[in-house]
Each structure stands twice: as structure tokens, then as C-alpha cells.
Amino acid sequence: MIVLLLSAQMLYAQNKTDFTFPLSAKIDFKNQIDEPQVQIQNLESPKPDGNSYHSELLKRKALIKQRYPGSARKAVHSKQRSNIDSLPKLEMNFEGNLVSGSTPCDNTLAIANSGILISAVNTNIRAFNTTVGSTFIFNKTLGAFAQPLGLTGSKYDPKLVYDPYANRFIIVFLNGFVPSNSKIIIGFSTDDDPNNPWNLYQLPGNPYNDTSWSDYPAIEVNEHDLFITMNLLWPDSSWQTGFKQTVIWQINKSDGYSGSSLNTSLWNGLQYNGTKIRNLHPVREGMANYTSNQYFVSNRNFALESDTIILVEITDAQQSGNAQLNINLIHSTDNYFLNVDAPMPSGQVLTTNDARVLGASKMGDIIQFVQNSTDTANGNAAIFHGFIDINTLQAWGRIVSSDTLYLGYPNIVSVGFNPSQQNSVIAFDYSSPNDFPGIGAIYYDGNGNYSPVQIIKKGTGSINVLSGNVERWGDYFGIQRKYNEPCKVWTAGMWAKNSGLGTWIAELNTTDSCSGNLPADILSEDIDILQTHVYPNPFQEIFTYELVLQKNAYAQIFLYDYKGAFLQTLYSDKIKSGKNIINFSASNLPAGIYTMQIVIDNQLQDVKKIIKY
């Protein structure tokens, strides 16, 4: 049972520095040869404090394992299953990026409304056309992408985002591990064809010239801006012991799309009660219904057990000059736990890192987020699925786990059809003493019910890349909703190929709504739509909506653009039982993709995608 009682504390941080960066270069993949690139990786097993396996983090993980060794009780979420066992449905899936001896994959993914998909790992970028199977477009190394910049140093930690508001891709990745060559590389596509030119910029990884360097980016876009969160580290230290602070880059994205000088603001000094905020993750709008403000979520990711949630908000666009940064410290009614590591059939273990927030999505007033955790009922590595009400500043959560699998590195995407629906898909990597590392997903119906694990890709061997008993597993998982097909989710995760690693890309279908039917949990039991149809679709001037009703009713038909923004009411009147045909003239609409929502007697009954050419 969830009881929504907690206290919240608002704190303020307004340490902001403005920078402007010129366009560094352009790159056109159609005319570029992929030259050999150098990538170096140390093959020692990870030592979290840079000194020994007996680090503070490993000590804490051992303590968690001792405290919650598991029992015969079932996992928490298995008691909450409903009649959604068939979801999410696995559809198109194929092998993505090739990984040549490096670890971890660090999977990231973005897909355009046109079906063009880009996937990246720590070594390379691949593009596919998913409208004709998984047609391969190109494969380029991160080094080749950054070649016009002339930067020395390793290229790593890529992050991708698709901006449906502008129909563009953005990629961010890092260069160098020391203050002297630490750079943040940003590429803005000029349209949704990745073969066309990209505008390249380089931002300093040591922006304050204080011998720190940038690591572990997370990115998101809203109506006006690109946001990049970054950890600044001191040199010659690990990411645990050398942490300086987390910063936020707020970047005017229209400058990047046009190739103009890039206007940016850098927020720093983020803390609560004298404690530095660590590993902020930006929140994605579930239906791309963008606003000018942006949220971020963090937690106490090294704590054995905690209820602390940190909510950060930037209130306005970079170009306005009026943006403020607000910090709220919230206490959840449900605790999360430091995560245990995951075993493999080989007897080796996969490190699950810490309990930082790894994904966040917002529908209406509710933010959902996911992080690594431990299921205290069975002792397995699990997922904490958290919720934040941004109006009441209340927070709660659930432990999502499997009876047999260890789950790690989750990400989440909202799949509801309107702001009141909290349906979502959580995708993750998994492993166990009896299961090779693979990829899975779970559907959440918005009402407290979770599906069983849907296996996306089974591993074929244990990972054996590093020396020693500990192997790398993360650091993150790629996932995105396809904005013009609202029931479709695309994922890119890590699976074990014999003794190495690979990327597997998959399309998941959360309902049959893309073919015209709504999920059962949002259909009214009192109204029976026997049939619906839109034709012609695509259309040029006029289209027809045909529906068959079981009884007389009051109907409303609303039109939305591809971002989910309301445009107009197409129909609002009584409608008779039986077959009805409604003709619409839409000559005033520009060419594009639209969504109709059909409401019968105040109940959402149908959603149709329509295309004008």
C-alpha cells in the first residue's frame, strides 16, 4: 500500500556562467572516409576507488548482500501482476553496433518519426532505416565523427536524442580523460537524414580552468534548449574519490541547428544542506509536449538504504535570460537500496555500479524514474521504480524484480496516450547464475500492475573481457518512444555474444493501438465502438472517419500535432447508434503527421494517426 505523506524542502541555487562557442566544423558522411582510429582500454577488473577491491562501495555492497541474502519469498512485483502478461510485444529486432573487445557498451539510441534510427556505443555510431526492415545506412567510429575537430584523446560516453519538435538528431560524446584535453563534443543534424551535414561544436571539459575534467554525460531537449548534465572530476582519481561536482549545461538548440555561435549557460554549485548533488539525470517529456522548463532527478546513490529524492528545475529558456534553478529535497514514502552485483553462469560477476538515477520520463504532473536497487525479499539485483508528483512534491516507489533474474541498468519511457495516463515501459539488462547476460523489458499499466519480464535477447555466453572475477556491465541503456506511433518503443541494450559483448536493437509494441484499438484499461465498459476506420490515409484535402456505435452517445473529436499539442476540436455533438461517416476538410493544415482522439460520453475511446501529404 502506498501512503503519500512526506515533507519537501525547497532550496535555491543560482550559480550560472554564460558562454558562447563558435561553430567548430561541419561533417558530411556522404563524402567522408572512415579513417582508422585509436581506442585504448585498460583490461584490469574495475576497482571502484582506484586502489583495491576492498573499496567503500564494494564494502557497502557486501553489507547489503549480507543484510538481504534472499529467501523463499517471491519478488515484490510478481504479486502485482494483472491481465497484461502479453505486453510488451517484441516486434522488429536485430543486431546493432559491433563491439570489438571494449566494455561496457554504453548503449544509446534515437529514432526519428521517419523511421531513421541511430544507435551508438563507446566505439561507433550506426544508422538504420527501419521502414524497410533494418536497412543499414552507415557505420562510423566516434573518432571519425569528430575528425574535423582535430582532437587528440579517446572518444567515449556517447548520448543520442531525437528532437521531434525540430525533426533533428543531437549527439553528445566526450574527448579525453585529463583537464588538458577534456572536451564535450556536440553534433546537431541539419535534418532527419544522418547522411546530411552535421554542425559540430566543442565545449571545454574543464570550463573553470581548475584542473577538473568532464565525465558521464546525460542529455535531453525541451522546447528551446539542449541540456547536458556532467560530473566534474579531479585528475588522477577515480569517479568515486575524485568527484568535484555535477553541473548542467543549458544550450540554445536553435543555434546548433542553424550553425550559429552557440549560446550556453553553465549551472554549478548544486547542493542541498551543504551536500553536493551527484549524477543528475534530465527528465524526458513523455509525449514530446515540450515546455520551457526542465526537470532533473537525483538521489543518494551510495547510500545502503535511503528515501531521499532530489528534484531540480530550470524554469525558463537560456535565451530569455530569466531562467532560475530550483532544488527540492523530497522524502519518498518507499526506500531504495544499494544494488548488489549480478552473477553469471561462469561464476564471474557483473558490476552494477551504484544506485544513481538512470532514466526519467514525465507525463502530466508525474515524473517516473528508474535506478539500480536490491529486492530485499529475494536478495537479487533489482530496479527501483520511483514516482514524483511535481505539484505536491510527493514521492513514492516500488521495487521491480524477477524471481530468477538479476536486473541492471534500467531505463524508462512513458507510453500513455494523454497526460493522465502513466503507462510506461522499463527496459534493462539481466543475468543470473543460470542465464547468460541478455536484455529484457517490463510493461507498467499505470495502475500498479507490472507484466512479467519480456525477454528481448538471450545471451549466448558469459562476458569475459577483463582480467579477474569482475566484469563491466553498463553504464546505460538506450530507449525511446516513437513519437508518431505512440504505442511503439525502441530499445538498444547489451547482450553477451559468447565471451564478448554486443548491442541488440528491438521494437516493442505496448498495445494494438497503432492499428486502431485502445488498450483495455482506458476503454469504457459502457460504450461499445464496434468499428472505426480512417480513409484515405495519407490524405491530401479531405478524409473520412467511419465508426459504428452500439448506442446513441455524445462524441468529441480532437486534433493534435505530432508533438501532442492540441490544435482544434473537429467535432462536438450527438451521434447515433449504428454506422456513422464524418467527413473532414483539412485543406488549411500543413503537410505532416497528426493524431485524432475520439471521446465518447467523456471517455477516451479511440486514437488515430493521420497523415497529410
The rounded average pLDDT for each run of 10 residues, N- to C-terminus, in the chain (613 residues) is: 34 75 91 50 45 62 80 40 68 87 86 94 92 85 92 93 93 95 97 94 95 95 95 82 92 97 97 91 82 92 95 96 95 96 95 95 95 94 97 97 95 86 94 96 92 94 88 92 86 88 93 42 44 80 84 84 76 82 82 84 79 81
Report in angstroms the alpha-carbon separations of 556 from 191, 276, 289, 566, 586. 35, 50, 21, 13, 17
Cα 381 to Cα 370: distance, rounded to the nearest angstrom = 13
Strands 294-299, 116-120: pairing is unpaired
What does the pLDDT read at residue 239? 66
Cα 155 to Cα 142: distance, rounded to the nearest angstrom = 6
Longest dimension (CA), the chain: 75
Q: Which three cell numbers stand for residue 151?
A: 582532437
% helix, strand, coil for the chain, step of 5:
5, 50, 45
Give Cβ neighbours of residue 575 (< 8 Å, ≥ 6 apart): 547, 549, 552, 553, 554, 555, 600
Q: Is-cis flag, bond preceding 536, omega within 30?
A: yes
Cα 324 to Cα 250: distance, rounded to the nearest angstrom = 12
CB atoms within 10 A of CB 601: 14
Q: pLDDT tens, 282-307?
A: 999 987 656 779 999 999 999 999 99
Cα 377 to Cα 320: distance, rounded to the nearest angstrom = 50
Cα 413 to Cα 536: distance, rounded to the nearest angstrom = 32
Of 404, 305, 301, which Cα lies nearest the Cα of 67?
Answer: 305
Q: How many helices (H) and strands (E) does the chain have?
A: 3, 44
Q: pLDDT tens, 116-148?
A: 999 999 889 999 999 877 888 888 889 999 999
Bridge partners (DSSP) listed for residue 443: 425
What does the pLDDT read at residue 96? 92
Phi/psi of residue 80, nearest 5 degrees:
-110, 10
Q: Is 387 exposed, middle or buried (0-12, 13-18, 19+ CB in 10 A)?
A: buried
Phi/psi of residue 88, nearest 5 degrees:
-80, 150
What does the pLDDT read at residue 521? 34
What does the pLDDT read at residue 134? 80
Of 450, 404, 447, 454, which Cα lies nearest the Cα of 428?
Answer: 454
CB 409 within 8 A of CB 426: no
Q: pLDDT tens, 52-106?
A: 434 677 788 888 888 888 653 344 433 344 456 668 999 999 999 887 667 888 9
Report in angstroms the alpha-carbon separations of 351 from 285, 340, 440, 502, 505. 30, 8, 18, 17, 23
Phi/psi of residue 606, nearest 5 degrees:
-160, 150
Long-range pairs for 315-320 at CB < 8 Å and ≥24 separation?
316/292, 317/223, 317/224, 317/225, 317/252, 317/292, 318/224, 318/225, 318/250, 318/251, 318/252, 318/263, 318/264, 318/265, 319/224, 319/252, 319/263, 320/292
Cα 540 to Cα 526: distance, rounded to the nearest angstrom = 36
Cα dihedral across residues 35, 159, 228, 169: positive or negative:
positive
